Amino acid sequence: MMRLMTKTSVLTTASNTDRKHRLASAVALLAALTLAGCATTTETTDVIRLDRAQGSDENIASLTAVIQSNPRAPEGYNVRGSAYGRAGQFKQALDDFNTALQINPQFFQAYANRALVYRNMGKPVEAAADYNAALKINPNYDVAYIGRGNIYRQAGRIDEAFGDFNRAIQLDTTDGRAYHNRGLIYQLRGDHAKAIDDFSKAISLSSRAPEPYNGRGVSYIALNDDENAFADFNLAIELNKNIAESWANQALVYERRGDKARAAKSYSHALSLDPKYEPAKQGLARTRSTT
């Protein structure tokens, strides 16, 4: 888990009717992309990136040996639980975090780690309770504010989420997720200048994470800065070619430029990565119907 010159756009000449149709389509898709950006997620939004090697027999054996050498040290269970979590072995991860907390009920990092596993198991209520427990022990724990903020954001409790991300930033967090997620809220509120500032800060802290590039690109699109948006979407693709959102975002710029063939190709690629990704479905339907 992760700890994440404006130029004039060039559009092809089109009739007024075509331009109006394209603008309406782009606005509709922008809304869909913005919502998708809020729900997507990866390292910058508390989704565990699975790494099966973390759960290999060799790795777990070495961590178990550490625990056996000092079975009353909660840190060993916390580390092994994190390895199980990254390997997608959530039950084993919970067992280890539970043991760590039985040994040391004040171990706030273990609460936050267990919360992350609960989130990935689709248990936001349990996750929120653990983040609350971590913050009760350590009110200055930025990781817990970011994690709880994401739960609030995905539950539609935007003001509470915004408060948590702000608090993490006030604590001088170096975790790019705080800025990325606050940027998503600014974006949702239509304040794209502030969103771009936050996404840029997230990029400065987590330059290898594709999510803030996608987020910033969507806000550039909203400000009709297609050139910078296109650069951001292409960078997101370079960083991770397996995110459907990035390809659909790239396709949107092609579509706005009037390049229906390339747009359809990128929308198709997005659907090959995620057949249920609605913005790509809608975009492909639009571009194929006009090619």
**DSSP for 65-92, written as a single string:** HHHHHSTT-HHHHHHHHHHHHHTT-HHH
Band of pLDDT at residue 290, cut at 50, 70 and 90: low
Band of pLDDT at residue 178, cut at 50, 70 and 90: very high
CB 171 within 8 A of CB 161: no
Q: Pull the structure tokens for residue 254.
A: 């092609």
Regarding pTM above 0.75, the answer is yes
User: What are the two backbone dihedrals, phi and then psi, of residue 14, each rounded to the nearest 5 degrees?
Assistant: -150, 165
Mean pLDDT score of the chain: 86
Please write the tens of the pLDDT for every residue from 56-107: 878 888 999 999 999 999 999 999 999 999 899 999 999 999 999 999 999 9
Question: What sign for the dihedral angle of Cα 234, 243, 128, 91?
Answer: negative
d(CA 204, CA 198): 10
Q: For residue 123, is pLDDT > 80?
A: yes
| Mean pLDDT, residues 174-199 taken together | 97
**Whole-angstrom distance between the N-terminal and C-terminal Cα of the chain?**
42
Helical segments of the chain, H only = 16-39, 57-69, 74-86, 90-103, 108-120, 124-137, 142-154, 158-170, 176-188, 192-205, 211-222, 226-239, 244-257, 260-273, 278-290
Band of pLDDT at residue 47, cut at 50, 70 and 90: low
Q: For residue 15, is pLDDT > 50?
A: no
| Mean pLDDT, residues 5-14 taken together | 28
Q: In the chain, what is the greatest distance between 2 CA atoms, to the nearest angstrom?
A: 75
Q: Pull the structure tokens for residue 72.
A: 């009353």
